Amino acid sequence: MRGVSSGPAPAASPPDEARAEAPRIAYFSMEIGLEPSIPTYSGGLGVLSGDTLRAAADLRVPMIGITLAHRQGYFEQHLDAAGVQTERPAAWQPETVLEAAAPVVTVTVEGRPVRVRAWRYLVRGLTGHEIPVYLLDTALPENSPWDRALTDTLYGGDRRYRLAQEIILGFGGVALLQALGHSDVHFHMNEGHSALLTLALLEQHTQGRGPDAATAEDIEAVRSRCIFTTHTPVPAGHDEFTKDLAATLIGPELTGLLESRHWLVEGHLNMTLLALHFSRYVNGVAMRHGEVSRDMFPQHEISAITNGVHAVTWASAALQELYDRFVPEWRTDNLYLRYAMGIPLHEIERAHARAKRDLLDHVEQRTGARLEETVLTIGFARRTTPYKRADLLFADLDRLRMIARYIGPLQILYAGKAHPQDQAGKQMIQRIFDAAGALADTIRVLYLENYDMALAQRLCAGVDVWLNTPNRPQEASGTSGMKAALNGVPSLSVLDGWWLEGHIEGVTGWSIGDGHEPLTDPASELASLYDKLERVIVPLYYGRPTAFAEIMRTTIALNGAFFNTQRMVRQYLVNAYFPGGQSARPQPDAAARPAA
Ligand SMILES: *Cc1c(COP(=O)(O)O)cnc(C)c1O
């Protein structure tokens, strides 16, 4: 599923840094999902980062990506027969597939110099425009063993390790861009992990005087170049470090500055607040998430740009061929998917049947179990963490059995990794295994190991209904339902995140509840979940297949056409990067110019 926009740098390509002209957007993200074989992402945030860069490359946006090499990856998930998760490192070696960028820069961690190099990956767009992504790497012999491991594990280690990683990302990224000769750069912080880049910029602006002497103009100069996207509607999800740890790692001078300017919050270095303070534009990732974020940070102006997915990356081969036949412009302009309304229903049914067969073949290869092509298949896959409530569907096994026995058969596919330290998430996987065992006589429930981009593509495209049951309002956006929509797969979901915008009942899918249920008691959401399955979805699927196919078609036309990163990046261009109609100055690119 490499799509068109990925691939390691060919050795002979001209160094992108040689054409350093202005202004560029440097997109900083702790995780970026470049492609399935490069394990530098854990979930939605990383996949979004990759999809953003893929769409920006298609749109010829002058952008640069900055992330860490994560040599040990996130992790490879193994589940035993009882659903107990164990992890193995997902090691990879950037030097075997990527080109080294020339500069090696130095970053100060705990008062000592740490050398940082970078590997360059090129994201290639539809017309050949390339966006370089620099994966920062401290595995150099001149660094101490601890420092060498700083860019090894995504979201691993303790607070000290995490803050050191954020120093590498923020300070190291800014130093690298400077060493590459990029002077006119605007900085997009995708989540607060990279917020320390603001302090690196402040140091640059106050060079010779020291950041202590920063004036209001210095701060404004930094602000005028920074953009921040927040992703977490849960207060505990925002990265925070104690003042003592900050003083040890970033040094007493910068920590003193943070304190004297009242940029520490209750004695803590809070990355979200640091980013908010230093950004000229801030946004949440769906309209409701914008509202929630404004409530959380009332002193800041916060807009919203709803997430998307990269259409060509996530549409299955079968659907890609269908769109190529009926709406051939869809690759370069996803808005043309609106005209999927003209695709005959039997063509959509046929393409989906192919995607479903591909998925079931793949499931059989992995598990030995053959699911039925004719049986309504529900999919659920995401990071397994409590607020996602992966096991909500199994709250009433008798009711579910009753639906499958008397209304129509069901089969269910699950996937998702729990963070190694998330015990509650791990227990949730075991509860799903327990439920699968208890239901075995009526409903096949399979939990697939090692959820990643490749599996996500197959699952979202090949199931018949995509289920999502987050605790409101904790799903900032959610993107897997968008991947499903792009493949004509309707969602059955709690009204949260993107689904508040994408849901039209009976047209693009179905809601669980009306979005006003009590937050502490899932009983009414549960009743709605089972009612929708029993009275609406299962009867429709088996009894009125043409009506079901109509829903698939409107799902593509209304939601595929909108919830994509092409639309999203355009919104960033207009609202965040180059507001007020300033030219977006697309990158000149020799490859795309017609030969004169
Ligand atoms: C798309 C994707 C996600 C994000 O899914 P959500 O619906 O936002 O939870 C997580 N992991 C992988 C591997 C994905 O492809």
Q: DSSP character for 575?
A: I
pLDDT surpasses 70 at 234: yes
Q: Is the CB of 470 under 6 A from ligand 1?
A: no
To test the pocket of ligand 1, the residue of 1, 40, 76, 383 to mutate (highest count of ligand atoms within 8 Å of its CB) is 383
Taking CA atoms only, the protein residue closest to ligand 1 atom 8 is 478
Q: Which of 6-20, 45-59, 435-449 has the lowest mean pLDDT?
A: 6-20
CA distance 307 to 566: 10
**Banded pLDDT at 235 (limits 50, 70, 90):** confident
**Banded pLDDT at 582 (limits 50, 70, 90):** low
210 CA → ligand 1 middle, Å: 43
pLDDT surpasses 90 at 110: yes
pLDDT surpasses 80 at 336: yes
Terminal-residue alpha carbon distance, the chain: 35
Taking CA atoms only, the protein residue closest to ligand 1 atom 7 is 480
Q: Output the pLDDT for position 150.
A: 98
pLDDT surpasses 90 at 210: no
**Do 543 and 499 contact (CB within 8 A), yes or no?**
no
Mean pLDDT in residue range 548-565: 98
Candidates 273, 196, 198, 285; CA nearest to 576 is 285
Q: Do domains 5-76+87-308+567-592 and 315-563 have the same CATH topology?
A: yes
**Banded pLDDT at 581 (limits 50, 70, 90):** low
pLDDT surpasses 90 at 557: yes
pLDDT surpasses 90 at 18: no
CA distance 37 to 243: 38
∠462-464-465 over CA atoms, to 5°? 120
* Strand pairing category for 185-190 and 130-137: unpaired
Query: Any idea which architecture 5-76+87-308+567-592 has in CATH?
Result: 3-Layer(aba) Sandwich (3.40)
Q: What are the distances in angstroms from CA 121 to CA 8, 15, 23, 286, 588?
A: 5, 11, 20, 29, 20
CA distance 30 to 40: 9
Domain ranges of the chain: 5-76+87-308+567-592, 315-563
Q: Is the CB of 382 under 6 A from ligand 1?
A: yes
143 CA → ligand 1 middle, Å: 35
Closest atom of ligand 1 relative to the 481 alpha carbon: 7
**Pairwise pLDDT comparison (13 vs 494), residue with the higher score:** 494
pLDDT surpasses 50 at 15: no
pTM, entire model: 0.94
**Do 253 and 213 contact (CB within 8 A), yes or no?**
no
Closest atom of ligand 1 relative to the 452 alpha carbon: 13
pLDDT surpasses 50 at 384: yes
Mean pLDDT in residue range 387-415: 97
pLDDT surpasses 50 at 482: yes
Cα 117 to its chain centre, rounded Å, is 25
Helix (H) or strand (E) run with residue 122 in it:
strand 112-124
**Pairwise pLDDT comparison (4 vs 583), residue with the higher score:** 583
pLDDT surpasses 60 at 596: no
479 CA → ligand 1 middle, Å: 6
Sign (positive or negative) of CA dihedral 130, 136, 142, 148: negative
CATH code for residues 315-563: 3.40.50.2000
Q: Report the percent of the chain where pLDDT is more than 70.
A: 94
∠375-376-379 over CA atoms, to 5°? 125
Structure confidence by residue, pLDDT tens digits, 24-34 = 999 999 999 99
Mean pLDDT in residue range 90-112: 97
pLDDT surpasses 50 at 4: no
Q: Which of 153-157, 263-267, 298-302, 317-321 has the lowest mean pLDDT?
A: 263-267
Q: Is the CB of 44 under 6 A from ligand 1?
A: yes
Mean pLDDT in residue range 98-122: 97
480 CA → ligand 1 middle, Å: 5
**Do 465 and 486 contact (CB within 8 A), yes or no?**
no
Q: Is the CB of 31 under 6 A from ligand 1?
A: no
Mean pLDDT in residue range 74-95: 97
Rounded (10°) angle between helices 252-260 and 243-250: 130
CA distance 92 to 76: 12
Closest atom of ligand 1 relative to the 497 alpha carbon: 8
Q: Output the pLDDT for position 265.
A: 86
pLDDT surpasses 80 at 534: yes
**Do 549 and 464 contact (CB within 8 A), yes or no?**
no
To test the pocket of ligand 1, the residue of 289, 419, 480, 489 to mutate (highest count of ligand atoms within 8 Å of its CB) is 480
Q: Output the pLDDT for position 2.
A: 38
Q: Output the pLDDT for position 236.
A: 75
Other CB atoms closer than 10 Å to residue 544's CB: what's the count?
Answer: 11
Q: Report the percent of the chain where pLDDT is more than 90.
A: 89
Average pLDDT, the chain: 93
Taking CA atoms only, the protein residue closest to ligand 1 atom 5 is 480
26 CA → ligand 1 middle, Å: 24
Mean pLDDT in residue range 351-366: 98
Mean pLDDT in residue range 291-301: 96
Tokens at 508, concatenated:
């693009």
383 CA → ligand 1 middle, Å: 7
**Banded pLDDT at 17 (limits 50, 70, 90):** very low
Structure confidence by residue, pLDDT tens digits, 243-268 = 999 999 999 999 999 999 989 988 99
153 CA → ligand 1 middle, Å: 19
Tokens at 187, concatenated:
């900085």
Closest atom of ligand 1 relative to the 479 alpha carbon: 8
Mean pLDDT in residue range 344-357: 98
Taking CA atoms only, the protein residue closest to ligand 1 atom 15 is 453
What is the C-alpha radius of gyration for the chain, rounded to an integer number of angstroms?
A: 24
CA distance 592 to 60: 10
482 CA → ligand 1 middle, Å: 10
Closest atom of ligand 1 relative to the 44 alpha carbon: 4
CA distance 356 to 64: 37
Q: Is the CB of 419 under 6 A from ligand 1?
A: no
Q: DSSP character for 559?
A: I
CA distance 212 to 218: 11
87 CA → ligand 1 middle, Å: 19
Q: Is the CB of 43 under 6 A from ligand 1?
A: yes
Other CB atoms closer than 10 Å to residue 263's CB: what's the count?
Answer: 17
To test the pocket of ligand 1, the residue of 382, 388, 453 to mutate (highest count of ligand atoms within 8 Å of its CB) is 382
Q: Output the pLDDT for position 586.
A: 52
Q: Output the pLDDT for position 520.
A: 81
